[in-house]
Amino acid sequence: MKEASLALGFLETESIQIRPSEPFRLASGRLSPVYVDCRRLISFPKWREIITTSLVRMVQEEIGLPQIDVIAGGETAGIAYAAFVAQALRKPMIYVRKEPKGYGKSSQIEGVLTPGQRVLLVEDLVTDGGSKLNFKRGIENAGGIVRHCLCVFEYFSEEAGLHRAREILRENGIELHALVNWDDVLSVVREQKTFTEQEVATVLQFFAELAT
């Protein structure tokens, strides 16, 4: 399935929203006229299956199954997608916390990870890449090796010059593989006139600011 069709799933399920007059506050604290909610997608079996199949195909074609020993989900939204992919590929799964829990074994990793195993980090969304580096450190501290990150949606737009996350991850030894990005969504939006031209212009202006 082409990226444009996958982008349609975000719009059909209202997993992408635009609200210029009442912007959303992102985890970084920045105000955004748009919000991407990949968590919402898991409630729609049709799109959940399509996305899982597409993620699995991406692993097989772009990374290669022999390069992956363990699938890791990032707390919290990445855990569901990691579970879908791990089950489909019949691979072991772990999940990584944002920080070590402050009790018990004080572990940042849940599940079984053997030192030296190659770990595929699966996430729902990549914006600036910062949280992925935190997950990478947690996995590496437990002895794992992270060279690839698979995500459903990437804050990337060639049109607006937005590709910081991909660059930051590459600089830190991680290759990013994403199903859908903003250029895919904007292509569908313009074709179907889902957003007004003013709304599209506002979104592009926001992306341009992110890129600087």
Question: What is the DSSP-derived secondary structure letter of residue 195?
Answer: S
Q: What is the Cα–Cα distance from 100 to 51, expressed in whole angstroms?
A: 30
Strand 70-74, strand 93-96: pairing: parallel
First to last CA, the chain: 33
Q: What is the CATH number of the domain that holds 96?
A: 3.40.50.2020
Q: What is the Cα–Cα distance from 127 to 117, expressed in whole angstroms?
A: 27
Q: What is the Cα–Cα distance from 212 to 209, expressed in whole angstroms?
A: 5
- What's the mean pLDDT in 62-75? 97
Residue 210 forms part of a structural domain = no
Residue 212 forms part of a structural domain = no
Tokens of 124: 């729902």
* Average pLDDT over all residues of the chain: 92
Model confidence pTM above 0.85: yes
For the chain, the domain total comes to 1
Residue 118 forms part of a structural domain = yes
The residue range of the domain holding 105 is 3-205
pLDDT at 143 over 50: yes
- What's the mean pLDDT in 145-170? 94
What pLDDT is recorded for position 1?
A: 45
Residue 68, phi then psi, degrees to nearest 5:
-125, 125
Residue 211 forms part of a structural domain = no
pLDDT at 2 over 80: no
Residue 27 forms part of a structural domain = yes
- What's the mean pLDDT in 58-87? 97
Residue 76 forms part of a structural domain = yes
What pLDDT is recorded for position 30?
A: 83
pLDDT digits (tens, 9 = 90+) for 102-138: 665 668 999 999 999 999 999 999 988 889 999 999 9
Q: What is the Cα–Cα distance from 181 to 126, expressed in whole angstroms?
A: 10
What pLDDT is recorded for position 99?
A: 87
Residue 38 forms part of a structural domain = yes
